[in-house]
Amino acid sequence: MINHIDVSVVLRGTVCDLYSNLVTRPTGAAVRAEIEQQLAEIGGRTLTVIDFTHVGLLDFSCADEIVAKLLLKYTDDGEAREREWYFLFRGLNESHHDAIEAVLERHGLAIVAQVDEGEPQLVGKVNERERVAWEALCRLGAADAVDLAEAAGLPESDAERLLDDMRRRRLAMRVEDLYVPVGLSR
């Protein structure tokens, strides 16, 4: 199932009808709470597109409240790990990207972002080996550890660990015996 959340609509509905900027920690907390409420109504494996297209400004405190705290809650290490929620962040402009990347780095997190209609990309804290594995997975479209090991030039045991880490961090979904990168539209 794919769910779409327009952050500007959530902002206008929770804070102010005429406001398109995400500034102050309380604003970010209110927007995240509404997003979490919408997520609570969804069952099963879900890909949620978090769309920032119509958001003007995004400060660091709102990026922390909305993006980082959302990921901290909904990854395998978070309190809501019993559900499989995956996120694709769209409509990020340069200032959004800067604020989000800074908070992701600080928390050791990563997201899948799609700029305009381009291919998805990783943003945040990933090492070179993780990036190589994720890019190889995107080229393949779907893969198991054997396929990824061959495509990325990795030992199979490393590919298996990287695939599981990507799933745990919500960068790739496990579908039966294969892993699929979040946000890939092929």
The CATH number of whichever domain residue 147 belongs to comes to 1.10.10.10
Share of the chain above pLDDT 90, in %: 73
Tens digit of each residue's pLDDT (9 = 90 or more) over 11-53: 988 877 667 888 899 999 999 999 999 988 887 788 999 999 9
> How many domains does the chain divide into?
2
Examine the fold and report which residue of 125, 148, 168 is the final residue of a domain before the chain moves on: 125
Examine the fold and report which residue of 83, 104, 125 is the final residue of a domain before the chain moves on: 125
Domain range for 21 is 2-125
Q: What is the total residue count of the chain? A: 186
- Provide the CATH number for the domain around residue 33: 3.30.750
Share of the chain above pLDDT 70, in %: 93
C-alpha of 93 from chain center: 16
What pLDDT band is residue 81 in, cutting at 50, 70 and 90? low
Q: Is there a single domain that holds both residue 135 and residue 66? A: no
Residue 80 pLDDT exceeds 60 = no
User: How many helices (H) and strands (E) are present in the chain, helices listed first?
Assistant: 8, 7
Q: Tell me what the mean pLDDT of segment 2-16 comes to.
A: 89
Q: Is there a single domain that holds both residue 73 and residue 7? A: yes
Examine the fold and report which residue of 99, 125, 151 is the final residue of a domain before the chain moves on: 125
- What is the bridge-based pairing of β-strands 110-114 and 85-90? parallel
Q: Is there a single domain that holds both residue 64 and residue 80? A: yes
Closest CA to 4 of 104, 99, 87: 87
Q: Is there a single domain that holds both residue 72 and residue 85? A: yes
